[in-house]
């Protein structure tokens, strides 16, 4: 017998489904693109359980006759192309003719369609690739395709799907991008019987962006425009003051097709490189038109990537379009710069006066990095006194500094007498000096512990250098503080202590994020964030964790949402770990923050008390040790 044999059609279809149908979003993509090719002006997508149990796409396109409906479910049957030459002048989104038969091979498939002028439509039913029924039926103009129980006959593939939230979010993201690529089509997405997204379909890209991302994003838009011989670029990009945490809000459309392309993304990053106030990505909708002959859309099974004839030229065109939009000719930076929305402090710098950090009644300072309530690190912003506050004389400041150096390992001198230090601190801090004196009667011994690690200094405002009797230590200040905060948060089983806000910031989300916030409100409450709905997609932030600066709260909430969105089906403990790790990372001191000796000592002491001091919650090392023997070997002493 021959070892080689021809596969049956059912097996062939299931293999093809592995390329075309990766997840529910892949099904929606193929069906909606067919609706667009059919000339639809209204498209409604309805999903249940993230598309795993039900997906229904309804359009008002041209529809099909019974003869065409029978052919449409055959492999490689298409009305888009007729010969190889047509691949170089494609004007449609779909052209392979594999979508319907491969989808039907791994689901319970039903299609109803009717052409204009026909009294009755056609209904086709297929279960797992086996044709069940084809006949006439009553239906509206256009086509409705219903897909149920995706991968019911291929359980191995079904187990690789993520949570229903994640799969539903992918569908929402795709519909969002498709609506931006076709502003003349009215889209409507219904997720679990709730309207999740809706666009007007009036042909205005600006209105489509506003309906999807909200008025706040729309107000920050800058128009893009570029045109030369055969490249035309239009669209919108947000000001540098409004950034998103990922590229999910960037949509690239080439000849009406949504694609991902590294060259285009890199051009945008390069144009924004020197303008970003923090790490992030601008919201972008780019509509690029190039000659069909200069691109190849058949390089990816799902047509999500595109090969350009001259990618360098596309890079330069996108770069110039973005730069011109950010700073048009004759316009100054004040036209595109973001306004300061939270002016918290007005400071006056007085010449020739030393300004010391304020110390609270318990001897600890306050900090934007979460040290204020427990670790005594002073906020850099508090180093500047307002005009109404008294400043120290130089002699008093010098005494304080000398006393602090003595307290952290310096040799005592005549200038570091305990009483002089206390008097200087009393003059600087007022009533706080009493509590300091009670807490530390001997200034020369403040923070001194036998056989403990002593800070030496800071390198590159990123690493703490320390020593003990056994060797030298290098500590990553951000990773170390991450571990400290994570352990502190983890120890709070019921709820992380929160601080109530006098002014409640309004956080605006898209439909997917808003749904995720509503479903995880109890989780956010236990993490210290109290949010109250005040609109369809707006939430009032009433409380934030006590160790989290208010300025970081919104970014932290969005990062937690991103974690929830990306996670697989997992336990509550794993979700809590991911969220606490994110909070600790955001609240920790950063690379570039300057620390004094007291602050460095507190970090080292708190790190030594943690359960796992050698790694941060993400697994990065926090501390490296060079023993005396290792140092001797490095310097060839042994």
First to last CA, the chain: 74
Residue 457, in any domain of the structure: yes
Following DSSP, what letter does each residue of 569-595 receive, concatenated?
S--HHHHHHHHHHHHHHHHS--TT---
Cα–Cα dist 386/138, whole Å: 78
Is 476 within a domain?
yes
CATH number of the domain where residue 544 is located: 3.30.1540.20
Contact 137, 120 (CB under 8 A): yes
How far is the C-alpha of 585 from the C-alpha of 572, rounded, in Å? 20
- Report pLDDT digits (tens) over 323-334: 888 765 444 333
| Separation between Cα atoms, residue 204 and residue 215, nearest integer Å | 15
Question: Taking the CB of residue 74, how many other CB atoms lie within 10 A of it?
Answer: 12
Could you tell me if 303 and 372 lie in one domain? no
Q: Cβ–Cβ contacts within 10 Å for residue 233, how many?
A: 22
C-alpha 539/C-alpha 520 separation (Å) is: 13
pLDDT exceeds 90 at position 363? no
Q: What is the pLDDT of residue 124?
A: 93
pTM, rounded to two decimals? 0.56
Q: Tokens at residue 189, please? A: 């997405």
User: Is the same domain home to 40 and 153?
Assistant: yes
The alpha helices in 186-261, defined as continuous H runs, are 205-213, 215-219
Render 252-277 in DSSP notation, one character per residue.
Answer: EEETTEEE--HHHHHHHHHHHTTT-S
Q: What is the CATH number of the domain that holds 87?
A: 3.30.565.10
| pLDDT score, position 211 | 92
Cβ neighbours of residue 594 closer than 8 Å, sequence gap 6 or more? 380, 458, 461
Fill in the DSSP letter of residue 545: E
Q: For residue 616, give Cα distances in angstroms to 473, 487, 488.
A: 16, 10, 13
Verify that 493 and 364 share a domain, yes or no: no
At a CB cut-off of 8 Å and minimum separation 6, what does 156 contact?
none
- Over residues 412-417, mean pLDDT: 37
Q: Which residues pair with 187 in a beta bridge?
A: 43
Phi/psi at 460 (nearest 5 deg)?
60, 25
Asked if 27 and 43 count as a contact pair (C-beta separation under 8 A), the reply is: no
| pLDDT on residue 426 | 41
Residues 416/404, Cβ–Cβ less than 8 Å: no
The CA distance from 561 to 408, in Å, is 43
Three-class secondary structure of residue 405 per DSSP: helix
Residue 579 shares a structural domain with residue 632 = yes
Q: Which of 171, 198, 225 is the last residue of a domain?
A: 198
DSSP 290: -
Q: Is residue 397 over pLDDT 60? A: no
**Whether residue 419 has pLDDT greater than 70:** no
What is the domain range of residue 480?
449-638
Residue among 161, 168, 157 at smallest CA distance from 45: 168
Residue pair 297/253 in contact by the 8 Å Cβ criterion: no
Confidence at 237, pLDDT banded by 50, 70, 90: very high
Please state, as a whole number, how many other Cβ atoms lie within 10 Å of the Cβ of residue 31: 26
The arithmetic mean of pLDDT across residues 208-228, rounded, is: 89
CA atoms within 13 A on the CB side of 501: 20
> DSSP characters for 382-395?
GGS--TTS--B-HH
> 448, 470, 494: which is the final residue of a domain?
448
Contacts of 202 (CB under 8 A, 6+ apart): 183, 184
Neighbour tally for 268: CB within 10 Å = 21
Q: What is the pLDDT of residue 593?
A: 87
In angstroms, the CA 501 to CA 194 distance is 32
Q: What pLDDT is stored for residue 77 in this prediction?
A: 67
Give pLDDT, residue 349.
40
Question: What is the C-alpha to C-alpha distance for residues 147 and 132, in angstroms, rounded to an integer?
Answer: 14
- Neighbour-count burial of 589, counting CB atoms closer than 10 A to its CB (0-12 exposed, 13-18 middle, 19+ buried): buried
Domain contains 438: yes
Q: How many CB atoms lie within 10 A of CB 85?
A: 8
Query: pLDDT band at residue 632, thresholds of 50, 70 and 90?
Result: confident
Pairing of strands 623-627, 471-476: antiparallel
The residue with greater pLDDT, 400 or 525, is 525
The pLDDT of residue 364 is above 50: no
pLDDT at 252 over 70: yes
DSSP code per residue over 310-373: -HHHHHHHHHHHHHHHHS-TT--GGGTSPP-----------TT-B-PPP--TTS----TTTTTT
Q: What is the pLDDT of residue 626?
A: 84
DSSP, collapsed to helix, strand or coil, labels residue 45 as: strand
Answer yes or no: are the C-beta atoms of 606 and 472 closer than 8 Å: no
| Residues 569 and 599 reside in one and the same domain | yes
Cα(296)–Cα(314) distance, rounded to whole angstroms? 14
Q: Are residues 527 and 493 in the same domain?
A: yes
Instruction: For residue 291, give the CATH number of its domain.
Output: 3.30.230.10
pLDDT reading at 440 higher than 80? no
Q: How many CB atoms lie within 10 A of CB 294?
A: 16
Rounded to whole angstroms, what are the CA distances from 383 to 356, 359, 374, 431?
6, 11, 19, 19
Residue 427 falls inside a structural domain? yes
Three-class secondary structure of residue 471 per DSSP = strand
Structurally, the chain folds into a number of domains equal to 4
Q: Record the tokens describing residue 511, joined without a space.
A: 């439909």
Residue 203 is assigned to a structural domain of this protein: no
Give me the sign of the Cα torsion angle 480, 483, 487, 490. Answer: positive
Question: 423 and 477: one domain?
Answer: no
Query: Same domain for 402 and 385?
Result: yes
Q: Which candidate, 634, 294, 340, 615, places its Cα nearest to that of 483?
A: 615
Same domain, 171 and 48: yes
Which band of pLDDT confidence, cut at 50, 70 and 90, is reported for residue 176?
A: very high
- 144: pLDDT strictly greater than 90: yes
Q: Is the pLDDT of residue 394 over 90?
A: no
| Residue 179, pLDDT score | 92
Pair (437, 463) in one structural domain? no
Where among 419, 448, 477 does a domain terminate? 448
| pLDDT of 620 | 79
Collapsed DSSP state (helix, strand, coil) of residue 381: helix
- Is there a single domain that holds both residue 463 and residue 361? no
pLDDT band at 614 (very low <50, low <70, confident <90, very high): confident
435 and 456 in a common domain: no
Question: What percent of the chain stands above pLDDT 90?
Answer: 20
Task: Give the residue from 326, 397, 318, 315 showing the smallest Cα distance to 356.
Answer: 397
Answer whether residue 89 shows pLDDT above 60.
no
| Mean pLDDT lowest among 218-222, 226-230, 288-292, 400-404 | 400-404
């Amino acid at each position: 017998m021959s070892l080689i044999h021809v596969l049956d059609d059912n097996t062939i279809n299931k293999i093809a489904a592995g390329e075309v149908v990766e997840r529910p979003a892949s099904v929606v993509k193929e069906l909606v693109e067919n609706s667009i090719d059919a000339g639809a002006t209204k498209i409604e997508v309805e999903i249940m359980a993230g598309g795993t149990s039900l997906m229904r796409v309804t359009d008002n396109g041209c529809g099909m006759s019974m003869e065409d409906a029978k052919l449409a479910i055959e492999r490689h049957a298409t009305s888009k192309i007729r010969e190889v030459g047509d691949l170089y002048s494609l004007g449609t989104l779909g052209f392979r003719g594999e979508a319907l038969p491969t989808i039907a091979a791994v689901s319970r498939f039903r299609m109803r369609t009717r052409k204009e002028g026909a009294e009755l439509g056609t209904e086709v039913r297929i279960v797992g690739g086996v044709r069940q029924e084809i006949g006439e039926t009553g239906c509206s103009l256009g086509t409705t395709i219903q897909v149920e129980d995706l991968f019911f006959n291929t359980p191995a593939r079904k187990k690789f799907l993520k949570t229903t939230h994640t799969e539903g979010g992918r569908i929402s993201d795709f519909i969002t991008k498709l609506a931006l690529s076709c502003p003349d089509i009215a889209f409507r997405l219904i997720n679990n019987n709730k309207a999740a997204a809706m666009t007007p379909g009036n042909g205005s890209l600006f209105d489509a962006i506003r309906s999807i991302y909200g008025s706040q994003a729309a107000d920050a838009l800058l128009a893009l425009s570029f045109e030369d011989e055969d490249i035309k670029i239009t669209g919108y990009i947000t000001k540098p003051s409004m950034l998103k945490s990922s590229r999910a809000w960037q949509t690239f459309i080439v000849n009406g097709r949504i694609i991902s392309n590294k060259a285009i993304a890199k051009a945008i990053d390069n144009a924004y490189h020197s303008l970003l106030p923090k790490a992030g990505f601008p919201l972008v909708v780019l509509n690029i038109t190039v000659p069909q002959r200069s691109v190849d859309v058949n390089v990816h099974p799902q047509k999500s990537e595109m090969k350009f004839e001259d990618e360098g030229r596309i890079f330069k065109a996108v770069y110039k379009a973005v730069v011109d939009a950010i700073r048009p000719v004759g316009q100054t930076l004040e036209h595109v710069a973001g306004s300061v929305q939270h002016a918290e402090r007005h400071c006056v710098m007085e010449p020739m006066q030393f300004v010391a950090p304020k110390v609270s009644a318990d001897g600890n300072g306050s900090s934007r990095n979460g040290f204020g309530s427990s670790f005594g690190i002073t906020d850099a912003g508090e180093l500047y006194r307002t005009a109404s506050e008294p400043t120290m004389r130089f002699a008093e400041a010098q005494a304080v500094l000398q006393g602090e150096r003595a307290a952290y390992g310096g040799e005592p001198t005549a200038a570091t007498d305990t009483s002089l230090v206390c008097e200087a601190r009393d003059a600087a801090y007022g009533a706080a000096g009493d509590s300091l004196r009670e807490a530390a009667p001997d200034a020369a011994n403040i923070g001194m512990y036998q056989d403990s690690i002593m800070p030496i200094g800071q390198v590159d405002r990123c690493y703490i250098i320390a020593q003990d009797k056994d060797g030298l230590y290098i500590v990553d200040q951000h990773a170390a503080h991450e571990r400290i905060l994570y352990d502190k948060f983890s120890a709070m089983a019921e709820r992380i202590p929160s601080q109530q806000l006098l002014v409640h910031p309004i956080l605006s989300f898209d439909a997917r994020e808003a749904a995720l916030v509503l479903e995880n409100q109890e989780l956010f409450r236990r993490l210290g964030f109290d949010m109250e709905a005040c609109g369809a997609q707006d939430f009032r932030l009433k409380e934030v964790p006590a160790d989290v600066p208010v300025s970081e709260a919104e970014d932290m909430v969005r990062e937690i949402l991103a974690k929830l969105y990306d996670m697989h089906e997992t336990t509550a403990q794993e979700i809590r770990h991911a969220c606490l790790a994110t909070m600790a990372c955001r609240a920790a001191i950063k690379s570039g923050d300057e620390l004094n000796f007291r602050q460095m000592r507190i970090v080292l002491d708190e790190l030594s008390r943690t359960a796992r001091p050698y790694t941060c919650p993400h697994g990065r090392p926090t501390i490296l040790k060079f023993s005396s023997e290792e140092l001797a070997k490095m310097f060839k002493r042994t």
